[in-house]
Amino acid sequence: MSAHGRAIMGTRSAGVAVMSNSIQQILVGTDFSEPSINAVLHADALAQLCQANLTALFAQVLHDDLSAGVLDAQWDQFRDRVGERFAALKSEYQVDFESRVERDVSARNALLRTAESVDADLIIVGTHGRTGMGRLALGSVAEGVVRDAPVSVLSVHYTTPHAPYRRILVPVDLSDRSGATLRYAASLAEDFGAELAVVHVVEPLTVPPYFPLDYCAPAPDEVRGAVVEFVRKQLPDQDVPVHVLSSRVAEGVCRLAEDQDFDLIVTGTRGLHGLMRLALGSVAEKILRLSGVPVWIYKPAG
């Protein structure tokens, strides 16, 4: 087990059962930048906890600055140089993985193609903070990976410390899909030995002109009651704290995560209805951009 794997697992002993979630193959993308190395460290720790295989991918993006001038005749030499960097990464951080070097028109394509090739259950990518919106690293294609990947994706912010996930926050919109995400997050919390909390965000309402003049939005107590009942139905044997906010959804979720020291947000790909639609390209994507903590985008198998 790597030194970093031992750190992120905290006090979990060798006799403790590994994660119950069916994660057997993890793929992490790296370009050897600080954000992507941090993602590799998180991936190594999760692989240890899951007893999963870990593959680290370097994508040679055709026509980018790094690979410009790399001709087919030079490909073997280029792969060897990248292999040396992988070896140095393993040695410096005491991590273990299978390394792959692939060529494609984008890092996104390479990640998705490799994920299919190795039958990955989870893809991990690093993010950086070049702008206030927290632009995504690896050629700024991580959003595309999240949108198009058939499996769950974990984005890791480059400032995230190498520590266990101890407080998990789950946004819900009371849809069946967010219920499935909540149950999955609860299983992660059990495996990590983490606390679990739920947040439901009600955006400030602008009433369309065709609504009745006497229309009133649900009262805060009614909303809280509905969320509490929803959580009880999903997790009948657990007492899960519930937060109800009035805010823009992504901003509210990320602010709560920061203010109350959550270290992982677990969200689904989309909700079916409600004011909070976790649709990729909208709220979930904004959470990815804004969050300073890891975001686990859950996609159910099949």
For 214-232, the pLDDT digits (tens) are 444 555 678 899 999 999 9
What angle separates helix 34-50 from helix 75-93, to the nearest 10 degrees? 70
User: What CATH number is given for 167-293 in this structure?
Assistant: 3.40.50.620
CATH number assigned to the domain with residue range 3-157, chosen from the 4 options 3.40.50.720, 3.40.50.620, 3.30.390.50, 3.40.50.300: 3.40.50.620
Return d(Cα 272, Cα 92) in angstroms, integer.
46
pLDDT at residue 4, as a whole number = 54
Q: What is d(CA 258, CA 265) in angstroms, rounded to the nearest whole number?
A: 11
Q: Tell me phi and psi for residue 101, to 5 degrees.
A: -125, 125
**Is the pTM of the predicted complex or chain greater than 0.85?**
no
Tell me the per-residue pLDDT of 54-92, one tens digit each, with 9 for 90 and over: 999 999 877 655 554 556 668 888 899 999 999 999 999
Give the rounded distance of the alpha carbon of 86 from its chain centre.
23
Q: Cα(286)–Cα(279) distance, rounded to whole angstroms?
A: 10
Break the chain into its structural domains and give their ranges.
3-157, 167-293
Do the domains 3-157 and 167-293 sit in the same CATH topology, yes or no?
Answer: yes
* Backbone phi, psi, residue 96, to 5°: -135, 130
Q: What is the pLDDT of residue 218?
A: 57
Q: Cα(35)–Cα(127) distance, rounded to whole angstroms?
A: 6
Instruction: Identify any residues that bridge with 243 across adjacent strands, giving them in sequence order.
Output: 199
Task: Tell me, rounded to whole angstroms, the distance of Cα 251 from its chain centroid.
Answer: 17
pLDDT, tens digit, for every residue of 273-286? Answer: 333 344 444 788 88
pLDDT digits (tens, 9 = 90+) for 116-161: 999 999 999 987 643 333 344 433 566 788 888 999 999 988 777 6
Per-residue pLDDT at 291 exceeds 70 = yes
CA angle centred on 81, ends 75 and 82, rounded to 5°: 90
How large is the average pLDDT for residues 172-201?
Answer: 93
| Longest distance between any two alpha carbons in the chain, whole Å | 74
Asked whether the beta carbons of 157 and 247 are under 8 A apart, the reply is no
Phi/psi for 124 (5° steps) reads -120, 130
Query: What's the CA dihedral at 3, 4, 9, 13 to 10 degrees?
Result: -10
Q: What percent of the chain is modeled with pLDDT above 90?
A: 47
DSSP class of 21:
S
- Mean pLDDT of the 276-298 span: 75
In whole angstroms, how large is the CA radius of gyration of the chain? 20
